[in-house]
A and B are shown apart, each in its own frame.
Chain A
Amino acid sequence: MFRTLYRTWFEFAGWLFCLSWWLFWLQGQICWWQPLVLWVSFMVLFFLTKQLGYDPGALPFVAILVLTGWVFLTRLNPTWATQQFWGALVACAAYVGGLWGCRRRFAHPLVWAGAALALLLATALFGQSAGGARAWITLFGLRFQPVELARIFLVFYLAQYFTEGRAWWELVLILGAFFLLLAWQRDLGPALLVFFVFWWMSLYWKFTWPKLFVYIACTVLGFISAYLWFPHLRSRAMAWLWPWDYLDSKGYQVLQGLFALRSGGLVGQGLGAGFAHVIPNVHTDYLFAVIGEEFGLLGTFSLLVVYLALAFWAVRLLHVVEEKRVQMIGLGLTLLLHVQVFLVVGGILRLVPFTGMTLPLVSFGSTSLVSQFAMLGMVAGLGGKRGGD
């Protein structure tokens, strides 16, 4: 049954590729070969994963998401799409790396925690600013965001913290340092994401009501203190709570996103017929709103369904894993991806404060694409070799 399902999804991705090819041929765009190469790469990855004995089920969904993102980036600015294309090719390598790497012997948890903190410290000391946060490091002429890698390391640490039953003060110190370093860089998004993932993993490990209440209290207190002490975060919070009072300043991005979504309606304005250029940072932060405007509710719902299918694939895989530590790492990685989707889309819809992260696998951003691919490779690897099927 699943084999049929995957085949269907792959065919769907193929159609999407054909559609984009045709569209850009019509428009006289010359990058027609990019979706072709991407599609072939995903096919190769699919059969490679299968050949190695792992579950390749994530790849059809990944193909749909990445190709959709590519189509919309081309629509906005073909230069971005080209950059995203190269990012996706590197990401394919990262996927293979994740698939191979994760089954090796696990390093000591403190090594992972140390690596995560070191990455953040390096960013804080030598990093460059972009979009209000100092989150970028340039190495050998390449710019990347170390926090994307650091949070994966932190999930490794967290999983082993729970399974090995390590001392609580160690956790408090490490998480505290992690959040402080992120606060120093004024990068709210990953902090919130990691906090929620930690919260979820902890409750998954052992659910108690007091724990839940403590976490909720922590969230509220954290929010209030962030509001009081960090002016940068305060303006984000105001944009979240009272966007209509700051139409032209803080609330501008949020409101333009909502206008875009509303103008999409049920079936959308059609590809290229939207009014996306008015949204600031549209290619990284607000690609979802563009999809909403041009493909409508139908398009956004379908996108969410694809993410849900990805979650189902991961959960189904991890469900049968015996080793607790492996299961916890896999869970943490899956949550990193899906909680991020929630925070990004929820931020656009004003359910949560907008945090300026990318929509996984869709938005512009090579570092994020590479780390997401690596994570999915790891989940596939952690799921183990399958007998038969």
Chain B
Amino acid sequence: MRKTFLSIVTMFGLLCLSLFYWQVCADIQNHPANPRYYQMFKEDRGVIFDRHGVPLAASASDGSVYARNYSTPSLSHVVGYFHQRYGMTGLERRYHEDLSQGRSLITTLDLDVQKVAEKALAGRQGAIVAIKPTTGEILALVSSPGIDGNALDGNWSSYLDDERSPFLNRATHGLYPPGSVVKPLVYGAALGEGLVERSQTWQDQGSLVLGNRTISNYGGRAHGSITIDQALAVSSNVVFAQLAISLGDRLLEMFRRFNLGIEVGFDLQNLGGFLPSGVASDYDAAQMGIGQGELLVTPLQMATVASTIANGGAMMRPYVVQEVRGGLKMRQITRPQITSQVLPPSHASALQEAMILAAREGTARTSRPSSLDYGGKTGTAQTGPGGDHAWFIGFAPTERPRVAIAVLVEHGGSGSQMAVPIGVTVMEAALGIDQ
């Protein structure tokens, strides 16, 4: 009888295991044959707002089915889309549970800035990320070309066939060599290791010979006797290659502290990029110091770098959802959070001054007249076929920065000519300056 009971227990144990699988583990909720899946398109859904309470995404009923309307097409890479046939992405997916229960999201995005950034990149491939340095709030996140969440039905197949990959979120998943925009980090590392004095002058003859290979400045220009701040302003490869060689593996340590090669904890999925584990030779180190080595970064990461420098060396965790409101939870608010103090404040302000110098007299000068007082650094990443990628990272205003930005234009040529004006325009929009 005992064995009989144990057999019955075994039988029921089998049922319990199987129940556990089908009730908790099995991935069948969104199967097309499940009527519960279609139910969510027959119900109203929470609204997604920007930081000023302007709706970014809202549902409208046609009598039987609710459809989602988005304020501007570029939102598809941050807010995402929610579609009966094509599923859901972005915040629509991440916060599906809340939204489907009628709760609304208040994001940190600024629709005006988002639209300006979208327009500035129109017709180009690239990405823009604007952050508020003191908190880590994302003000705008644009990847171009985008997809229009309002017109997925008509355009889906053309999106699929488009060779420019409109589905790729270049801001979070695009991996690019950073070019000269890493130079502030080399500067910061050198300050940290005591390898450089700000008053010290360097000789820049236009090129640096390393064994049988040569590192040259952009355009082969010789800058003569310059300080480190001036070297950053004119983007001297010669000076930064020398610094990187003396830093060696310690430079990689600084990159790691800035979360390069590491996925950022963020509301949206993102890639960590690629950071080599060590430098094999002086030439490798020199290449790393001018952003031409194996290092690959995303625009989101570079925006965090700019934001960290602008915030006195304290890295804030970037976030895009400010608040979940409504329902039983009432309010769930995201609080700004310091990831780490990456640089001492004095080093951060040295970097800021060098970047301000670059914006006033160096490569980060804007070609078009602007009253904006900002700091920045350009990059022109050499990529082989298709032309160089244009980079710009910056912050504004120079006193207590309220916006930091990263701009990347694929095959955009020189950072100074292509990326700086875009960055300035977006920063002006973020600070409410009329052009």
- What residues of chain A have their CB less than 8 Å away from a CB belonging to chain B? 200, 204, 247-248, 255-256, 258-259, 261-266, 275, 278, 292, 296-297, 300-301, 304, 307-308, 311-312, 315, 318-319, 331, 338-339, 341-342, 345-346, 349, 351
Bound complex: CA of A331 vs CA of B34, how far in Å?
41
Further pairs besides A259-B31, A261-B19, A275-B39: 16, Cβ < 8 Å: A258-B26, A258-B28, A259-B29, A263-B36, A278-B35, A292-B19, A296-B23, A297-B23, A315-B2, A315-B5, A319-B1, A331-B4, A342-B15, A345-B19, A346-B15, A346-B18
Per-position contact with A for B13-36: 1 when CB-CB < 8 Å, else 0? 011101110111010110101111
Total residue contacts A-B, CB cutoff 8 A: 88
Q: Which of B7-66 contact A (CB under 8 A)?
A: 7-9, 11-12, 14-16, 18-20, 22-24, 26, 28-29, 31, 33-36, 39
User: Are the CB atoms of A297 and B1 closer together than 8 Å?
Assistant: no
B146 CB → nearest A CB, Å? 34
Chain B count of residues within 8 A CB distance of the other chain: 27
Q: Known contacts A258-B22, A261-B23: does B28 contact A307 (CB below 8 Å)?
A: no
Specify the chain B residue showing the minimal Cβ separation from A201: B4
Specify the chain B residue showing the minimal Cβ separation from A312: B5
- Indicate the member of B23, B31, B39 with the most A CB atoms within 10 Å: B23
B16 CB → nearest A CB, Å? 6
- What residues of chain B have their CB less than 8 Å away from a CB belonging to chain A? 1-2, 4-5, 7-9, 11-12, 14-16, 18-20, 22-24, 26, 28-29, 31, 33-36, 39
Q: Known contacts A247-B33, A258-B22, A301-B19: does B1 contact A315 (CB below 8 Å)?
A: yes
B290 CB → nearest A CB, Å? 53
Specify the chain A residue showing the minimal Cβ separation from B8: A311
A259's partner among B18, B20, B34 (CB-CB below 8 A) is B34
Q: Known contacts A296-B23, A315-B4, A342-B11: does B33 contact A255 (CB below 8 Å)?
A: yes
User: Are the CB atoms of B24 and A297 closer together than 8 Å?
Assistant: yes
Q: Known contacts A262-B29, A263-B29, A275-B35: does B23 contact A292 (CB below 8 Å)?
A: yes
Bound complex: CA of A255 vs CA of B9, how far in Å?
27
Chain B residues lying within 8 Å of A296, measured Cβ to Cβ, are 23
A179 CB → nearest B CB, Å? 23
* 11 A-B residue pairs with CB within 8 Å: A258-B26, A258-B28, A265-B23, A266-B24, A304-B12, A308-B12, A318-B1, A319-B1, A331-B1, A345-B15, A346-B18
Bound complex: CA of A247 vs CA of B33, how far in Å?
7
Specify the chain B residue showing the minimal Cβ separation from A263: B36
Specify the chain A residue showing the minimal Cβ separation from B28: A262
B34 CB → nearest A CB, Å? 4
Bound complex: CA of A88 vs CA of B11, how far in Å?
28
Chain A residues lying within 8 Å of B7, measured Cβ to Cβ, are 200
Specify the chain B residue showing the minimal Cβ separation from A269: B36
User: Are the CB atoms of A351 and B24 closer together than 8 Å?
Assistant: no
Bound complex: CA of A339 vs CA of B23, how far in Å?
22
Bound complex: CA of A26 vs CA of B23, how far in Å?
29
Specify the chain B residue showing the minimal Cβ separation from A275: B36
B404 CB → nearest A CB, Å? 42
User: Are the CB atoms of B15 and A262 closer together than 8 Å?
Assistant: no
Chain B residues lying within 8 Å of A341, measured Cβ to Cβ, are 12
User: Are the CB atoms of A262 and B26 closer together than 8 Å?
Assistant: yes
User: Are the CB atoms of A262 and B22 closer together than 8 Å?
Assistant: yes
Q: Known contacts A259-B31, A319-B1: does B16 contact A304 (CB below 8 Å)?
A: yes
Bound complex: CA of A278 vs CA of B19, how far in Å?
20
A349's partner among B2, B19, B24 (CB-CB below 8 A) is B19
User: Are the CB atoms of B28 and A259 closer together than 8 Å?
Assistant: yes
Chain A residues lying within 8 Å of B36, measured Cβ to Cβ, are 259, 263, 275
Bound complex: CA of A248 vs CA of B11, how far in Å?
31
Bound complex: CA of A315 vs CA of B39, how far in Å?
47
User: Are the CB atoms of A300 and B1 closer together than 8 Å?
Assistant: no
Specify the chain B residue showing the minimal Cβ separation from A264: B23
